[in-house]
Amino acid sequence: MKKKATVLVSGGAGYIGSHTAVELIAAGYDVVIADNLSNSDRTAVEGVRAITGVDVPFVEVDCCDRAAFRKVFEAYDFDSVIHFAASKAVGESVRMPLEYYRNNLTSLMNVIDLMRESGRSNIVFSSSCTVYGEPEKQPVTERTPRKPATSPYGNTKQMCEDILRDSIAAYDGLKGIALRYFNPIGAHPSALIGEQPRGVPQNLVPYITQTAAGIRECLSVFGDDYPTPDGSCIRDYIDVVDLAKAHVAAIARMIEDRNAERYEIFNIGTGRGVSVLELVRRFEQVNGLKLRYKIAPRREGDIVAIWADPTRANEELGWHAERSLDETLAAAWAWERRVREA
């Protein structure tokens, strides 16, 4: 297979980054992974190598350390960057706002600065549906107004989008795509990579799988009194492999489509809202398990409901969510079992 280009994946040892590295390689790209392993694990890089059969270069580096990060730009020949490296938990950001602002903003500004300094062109930014705040209408499109963020995490994503937009407008040679993705879940079908959070999971599905595995005593469902059909929050759960493929499509668009605008935004979701309680019950059905769960008070920073209108990504990127929720939840449980057996 002819190699198309090389892509630097910052935060590439993380959950979404590692799956994206796999899909980039499958599409014919070379990949360099950079990660400080603050909320990820070197075994994810080994998983990428095992799945692809490629000895992917890995550099342990903090993107906030500009001098150290510059050495990656000097050592490797790449023209495109996918920037994942960021702190990512809504609840934690409420408790630790300064850490989130410092890490998420500084790392992106360093990436853009080093791209300008070294003549790199293309950046895909890992954004989030949290930029919409509490939307008035569902589903949300890219034209849905951004509302005040309900957490410091969401605010950093809004601010990073603004930094990227303004930088591209000011500096010739830069092109960027912000992918606003919804709630990534699942694992690679090989069960060689998946979501493996440090400590207590901040996201729903890892907590579900760890409860099913007996690691956690009981799952807490935060709120059953929301104005939704069953009282629990509604989200758009996107399979992580489908999400990874969206990044590949974004890179291809920037490299190959000369008519594309220099800065673009795409929603990456399934277009279907699923409640927390519905997801719990579906996990039980798909995997033949019974979970212990309880209703807990609402969690600060959570919004009631949000799901995507992915039409623009479907039409402009040629990307579609393909994996079913059942496949995704089965893959998540297969990954958890493998982790516990290792």
Tokens of 18: 């590692």
* Nearest residue to 188 via CA among 25, 63, 4, 7: 25
SS3 state at 97: helix
Residue 118 and residue 122: Cα distance in Å, rounded?
12
Catalytic: 100? no
Residue 8 and residue 100: Cα distance in Å, rounded?
23
User: Which is the catalytic residue, given 153, 226, 263, 293?
Assistant: 153
Q: Name, in order, each residue with C-beta under 8 angstroms of 87's C-beta and a sequence gap of 6 or more.
A: 39, 93, 96, 99, 100, 103, 104, 153
Residue 99 and residue 25: Cα distance in Å, rounded?
33
How many residues can be counted in the chain? 342
Residues with a known catalytic role: 153
